[in-house]
Amino acid sequence: MSVTSREVVREAARRRTFAVISHPDAGKSTLTEALALHARVIGQAGAVHGKGERRGTVSDWMAMERDRGISITSAALQFAYRDVVVNLLDTPGHADFSEDTYRVLTAVDCAVMLLDAAKGLEPQTLKLFEVCRQRQIPVITFINKWDRPGQDALALLDEIESRIQLTPTPLNWPVGVAGHFHGLVDRDTGGMIRFERAPGGAGIAIEEHLDTAEAARRYGGDWSGAIEELELLTLSGAEHDEESFQAARSTPVLFGAAVTNIGVRQLLDVLVELAPAPAARPTTDGGSRPLDSEFSGFVFKIQANMDPSHRDQVAFVRVCSGRFTRGMIVTHGTTGRPFTTKYAQQIFGRDRDTLDEAYPGDVIGLVNATALGIGDTLHTGPKVRFPALPAFPPEHFAVVRAVDSSTFKRFRRGIEQLDAEGVVQVLRSELRGEQAPVLAAVGTMQFEVATHRLAAEFGVRTTLDRLPYEFAVRTTLDGRDALQSEAGVEVLRRTQDDALLALFPNPYRLRSVAARHPGVPLEPLTGNS
């Protein structure tokens, strides 16, 4: 093995690349920032003005996110902790932005599943977990908001095992019920950690380590109750097994409260010690790209105008193999053309620094890389192609128009940008014309984001008219001609891949049209359509 190969393997082993997944309002962005706080890469929780006493999170950089208190787009944070380089990808929790989250999950090696102590497993969490299961991504569970009233700890473990068939293996255990929380039992040492929160949750919580005698003296029945529950778990075999975890059959479980920074350091330590490092990446030819091969990576996200002072477009690239150096000439896998990486940056929320090198597991921000699209592969050396990223069938459709015709050039540029980023899918037809594209979305909030960004970033006020369609299927030119006579059916061209999509108001209409035109291709859109 060459010196360069050894360096790549060594550096890859130091990387931990993971995403946080949850249902909306489970505290995902708060946890993301609390992890950065414990790694001491920010001095205070919150980088911009937020709601109440707590500032907004550094990962929520979009004005609409700060105003609404939700994550709309994923964000990348890289920082060092102990001797490890952490690449943390925060993701939207709202179901309307599932597609963005699903794409991010293709770029990680592990996931933290965040549960609200009061609500347990919620619908969006279950959907995202299924993506992790399909991709065999190991999952660490963090049960959040233990400082508020919630469910019984053992009941939450039972829910995890019964509903998602993962064996929960707690690494710590709460002393006191949810809402009446004293601290955590560390299963490794058997002692207790008591926390004293910082005012407003802005700083790291102070930890006090108690031995078993002192914990029993202070907390009596709550301490003995926690120990009895741990004994039950030990008897039932709920012990961490690294092989089972790496195979995505079990999940280490930790308890805490992200908003007060309780249990967050323990989670960060577990991520460093247990989460898998990058491994050889599967390719479309059925093989895999070894870590010490020449450079390769793929684009999993595109984002523009992250900072008003930098009105540019950033392509987020997950490094899969080799050593990346700024300025290297790589091959664009889709076109086969050379691509220069002069403007490579490390992204931290919306902040950025010049990046000179990167290794497998890292995320590179390539600035003004307008030739790149989501899912594109970049490489040096032998040609390689990574599997296509998931796209999902739209269920909502609306015509968007500029209010002022004099802003049409900016309107068109904005629509092209939103399409490139995957904020919405853009459909067109000769009948509707260039000035009235149709936006197609998985969830209606995507329309709100699109119109907000057209106004805020391009200075274009728009109107939005909802269309009465709920289903889209793929067809052909011949199919388009055959369907022209059908009322309530419309065929449009998707700009991102030139696919022809036939739109229907409901499944009954689709079935009746298909019965009248048995020779017309009407293919369902799948997760990769």
Q: Is 92 known as a binding-site position?
A: yes
Nearest alpha-carbon partner for 72 in 46, 90, 53, 50: 90
Look at strands 139-144 and 250-255 and give their pairing.
parallel
In contact, 461 and 451? CB cutoff 8 Å? no
Residue 286 burial by CB count (10 A; 0-12/13-18/19+): exposed, middle or buried? exposed
Nearest to 347 by CA among 316, 385, 391: 316
Token readout for 218 is 């202070």
**What phi, psi does 162 have (nearest 5°)?**
-80, -35
CA-closest candidate to residue 247, choices 391, 172, 136 = 136
Where helices occur in 85-198 by DSSP H, the ranges are: 98-105, 123-134, 153-164
Could you tell me the two tokens for 281? 């990446």
Q: Are 447 and 440 in contact (CB under 8 A)?
A: no
Determine the angle formed by the axes of helices 264-274 and 28-38, rounding to 10 degrees.
Answer: 80
174 annotated to bind ligand: no
Residue 97 dihedral angles phi and psi, to the nearest 5°: -115, 30
Residue the block writes with tokens 């015509």: 399
Which runs of E-coded beta strand occur in 59-116?
Answer: 75-81, 84-90, 110-116
Distances in Å between the alpha carbon of 134 and those of 291, 318, 422? 23, 20, 22
- Confirm or deny that 94 is annotated as ligand binding: yes
- Tell me the three state secondary structure of residue 151: coil
SS3 of 390-414 = CECCCCEEEEEEECCHHHHHHHHHH
Point out which residues pair with 329 in neighbouring strands: 340
Q: From start to end of 165-269, where are the E strands?
A: 167-170, 172-175, 183-186, 192-196, 206-210, 250-255
**Element (H or E) spanning 4, and its range?**
helix 3-13
What are the binding residues for GTP? Answer: 90-94
From the annotation, which residues make up the binding site? 90-94
